């Protein structure tokens, strides 16, 4: 027979075993979930140090029996770095513990909600956002995120009051207006959708992704004529939510890549000096001679360029080139060569510019901007024959590269191959009939070709007139009409139009263009037609700066999950 005392001891052991098996610790009467240190072997050294540091702070707080707020903060801070590093399963108990210890702190349910959202656990995310809002009813970000969640759940009726409140708290918040617009679209209330989305775009014209749902709303109203222009303005842009807590999380990690991401975000916000700081920090944390390091140097150079520090920019690009791999393909090196080429070309240092641009193409054969840039430099410095292959390469990489088609035609004209240029532009217009620049180029060539076999003033005027009647209004088209009229002997009208175009250009501040147009005006006044469709050194397009290339191809990054 077992005595009473050993039975109680056995029961107590069972209890301890049960709770230990459940991963709980008893502290000051509270049961807390285990929050271990995860396997950090796959993580950057800087991030490892961060995680370990916060873990040590937590264990110290536990062993020192810190008070509830301090312990909550330790759990919460540890949870944040874990969440930022995507250790969601370990971050979750940290936040739950923090919430238990500090139930009035809005951060913990807020971060939990984001974590649950990342894992696709929408019901839990919804509950956590509601907890956050119970603590802070006017939290703008929580209102918007919960509203979006309800929309994703197909519950616009639940989302609407949240966006309404967000909009009333912060009337010029694009994310709130966009949310209201989405609600209206979901309810098929297209007039209301139009109102909200137009308001959002009026506040922030760069919220260009909204042009798509706005066009859909106009389409819903049967107003296709209003929908079309919006579709042409669409760009793929994220709609940021003003969210200081999330931003704190996003900027938390001390890794080179994290700083690169911060810098790219600063780019997108046009905060160049901040971008400079972030990229410098990223370079400090990165290892030399890695692709990431080269990428950071190049991005720093771009940011310096945008702050006006041209010399500083050049030094960074040259640093990249100095550490370039000896051969093969390398994106950062390619971009650095491109940036140097563009810089030098803008100063008139043509020869070294061409060398850098050719090197850019060597390190990245499908770098269409580099092909365009080298083609333009060659053409504008009288080397039309050499430019042709680069224009062709640009078109092969991207058949929709219409400026390359234009450049190719200009090179042919430079080489006095007028009929070939005409045929090329004819084919281009057939393929890409909605490109006004190609049509204008064809009309100009037809109006002004020195080779009579390629000249057709009547056709030139017809093309230009059709464009004008369709609503195309530009100085380039006006000039072209004047050229065509002069070719047909209608000098009086040509003079009138040329003068009108020059006045419009003057008003627009296009001084250099006005001076060039004066030369043609003088011809018409002498009753002579123009025999040059464009000037030899006319740009086909403005070479994209490195920053444009940056935002189109992020390197060394992965979409965060």
Q: Please pick, from the candidates 54, 117, 165, 439, the single residue that binds other proteins as defined by CB under 8 A.
A: 117
**Token digits for 40?**
């950090």
Q: With binding defined as CB under 8 A, does residue 30 bind other proteins?
A: no
Q: Which is nearer to other proteins, 210 or 409 (CB)?
A: 210
Q: Please pick, from the candidates 35, 44, 165, 540, the single residue that binds other proteins as defined by CB under 8 A.
A: 44
Q: With binding defined as CB under 8 A, does residue 29 bind other proteins?
A: no
Count of residues interacting with other proteins (CB under 8 A):
83
Looking only at residues 468 through 527 of this chain, which bind other proteins when binding is defined by CB under 8 A?
A: none
Looking only at residues 426 through 455 of this chain, which bind other proteins when binding is defined by CB under 8 A?
A: 431-434
Half-sphere exposure of 146 (CA within 13 A, CB side): 33
Closest CA relative to residue 251, chosen from 272, 278, 284, 273? 278
Looking only at residues 356 through 385 of this chain, which bind other proteins when binding is defined by CB under 8 A?
A: 364-366, 368
Q: With binding defined as CB under 8 A, does residue 124 bind other proteins?
A: no
Looking only at residues 533 through 552 of this chain, which bind other proteins when binding is defined by CB under 8 A?
A: 552
Looking only at residues 242 through 281 of this chain, which bind other proteins when binding is defined by CB under 8 A?
A: 253, 255-258, 261
Report the phi/psi class of residue 154: left, alpha or beta, with left for phi > 0 and alpha for psi in -120 to 50.
Answer: left
Q: Please pick, from the candidates 76, 213, 282, 529, the single residue that binds other proteins as defined by CB under 8 A.
A: 213
| Region near other proteins per CB under 8 A, out of 85-93, 269-277, 337-345, 482-490 | 85-93
Q: Which is nearer to other proteins, 158 or 504 (CB)?
A: 158
Q: With binding defined as CB under 8 A, does residue 5 bind other proteins?
A: no
Beta bridge partners of 25: 32
Binding-site string for other proteins from residue 288 to residue 317, where x marks contact by CB under 8 A and - marks none: ---xx-------------------------
Q: Please pick, from the candidates 9, 202, 203, 224, the single residue that binds other proteins as defined by CB under 8 A.
A: 224
Q: With binding defined as CB under 8 A, does residue 205 bind other proteins?
A: no
Q: Residue 479, SS3? A: helix
Closest CA relative to residue 109, chosen from 121, 122, 126? 126
Q: Please pick, from the candidates 397, 415, 504, 510, the single residue that binds other proteins as defined by CB under 8 A.
A: 397
Q: Please pick, from the candidates 88, 195, 386, 420, the single residue that binds other proteins as defined by CB under 8 A.
A: 88
Q: Is the dihedral of CA 201, 203, 205, 207 positive or negative?
A: negative
Q: With binding defined as CB under 8 A, does residue 4 bind other proteins?
A: no
d(C-alpha 469, C-alpha 427), whole Å? 23
Closest CA relative to residue 263, chosen from 279, 248, 240, 286? 279
B/e letters for 464-501, b = 16+ CB within 10 Å, e = fewer, are: beebeeeeeeebbbbbbbbbbbbbbebbeebbebbeeb
Half-sphere exposure of 484 (CA within 13 A, CB side): 23
């Amino acid at each position: 027979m077992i005595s009473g005392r050993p039975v109680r001891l056995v029961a107590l052991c069972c209890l301890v075993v049960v709770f230990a098996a459940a991963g709980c610790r008893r502290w000051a009467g509270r049961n807390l979930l285990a929050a271990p240190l995860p396997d950090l072997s796959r993580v950057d050294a800087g991030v490892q140090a961060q995680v370990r540091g916060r873990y040590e702070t937590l264990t110290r707080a536990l062993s020192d029996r810190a008070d509830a707020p301090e312990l909550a903060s330790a759990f919460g801070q540890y949870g944040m770095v874990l969440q930022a590093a995507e250790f969601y399963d370990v971050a979750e108990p940290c936040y739950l513990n923090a919430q238990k210890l500090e139930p009035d702190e809005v951060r913990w349910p807020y971060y939990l909600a984001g974590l649950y959202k990342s894992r696709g656990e929408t019901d839990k995310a919804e509950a956590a956002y509601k907890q956050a809002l119970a603590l802070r009813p006017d939290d703008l970000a929580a209102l918007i995120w919960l509203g979006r969640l309800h929309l994703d759940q197909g519950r616009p009726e639940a989302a609407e009051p949240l966006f309404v409140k967000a909009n009333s708290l912060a009337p010029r918040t694009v994310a709130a207006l966009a949310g209201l617009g989405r609600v209206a679209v979901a309810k098929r209330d297209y007039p209301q959708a139009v109102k909200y989305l137009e308001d959002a775009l009026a506040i922030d014209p760069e919220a260009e992704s909204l042009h798509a749902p706005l066009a859909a709303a106009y389409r819903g109203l049967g107003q296709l004529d209003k929908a079309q222009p919006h579709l042409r303005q669409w760009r793929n842009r994220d709609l940021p939510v003003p969210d200081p807590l999330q931003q704190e999380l996003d900027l938390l990690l001390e890794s080179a890549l994290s700083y690169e991401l911060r810098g790219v975000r600063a780019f997108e916000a046009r905060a160049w000096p901040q971008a400079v700081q972030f990229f410098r920090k990223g370079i400090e944390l990165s290892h030399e001679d890695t692709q990431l390091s080269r990428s950071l140097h190049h991005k720093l150079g771009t940011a310096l360029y945008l702050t006006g520090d041209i010399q500083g920019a050049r030094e960074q690009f040259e640093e990249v080139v100095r550490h370039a791999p000896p051969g093969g393909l390398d994106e950062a090196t390619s971009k650095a060569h491109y940036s140097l080429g563009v810089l030098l070309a803008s100063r008139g240092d043509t020869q070294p510019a061409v060398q850098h641009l050719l090197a850019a193409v060597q390190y990245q054969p499908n770098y269409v901007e580099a092909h365009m840039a080298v083609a333009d430099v060659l053409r504008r410095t009288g080397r039309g024959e050499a430019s042709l292959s680069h224009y062709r390469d640009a078109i092969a990489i991207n058949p929709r590269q219409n400026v390359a088609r234009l450049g190719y035609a200009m090179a042919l004209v430079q080489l006095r191959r007028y009929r070939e240029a005409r045929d090329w532009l004819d084919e281009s217009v057939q393929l890409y009939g909605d490109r006004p620049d190609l049509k204008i180029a064809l009309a100009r060539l037809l109006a002004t070709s020195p080779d009579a076999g390629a000249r057709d003033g009547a056709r030139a005027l017809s093309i230009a007139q059709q464009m004008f009647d369709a609503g195309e209004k530009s100085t380039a088209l006006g000039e072209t009409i004047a050229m065509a009229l002069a070719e047909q002997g209608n000098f009086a009208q040509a003079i009138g139009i040329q003068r009108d175009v020059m006045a419009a250009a003057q008003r627009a501040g296009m001084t250099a263009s006005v001076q060039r147009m004066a030369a043609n005006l003088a011809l018409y006044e002498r009753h002579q037609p123009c025999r040059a469709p464009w000037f030899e050194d006319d740009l086909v397009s403005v070479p994209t700066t490195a920053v444009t290339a940056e935002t189109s191809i992020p390197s060394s990054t992965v979409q965060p999950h």
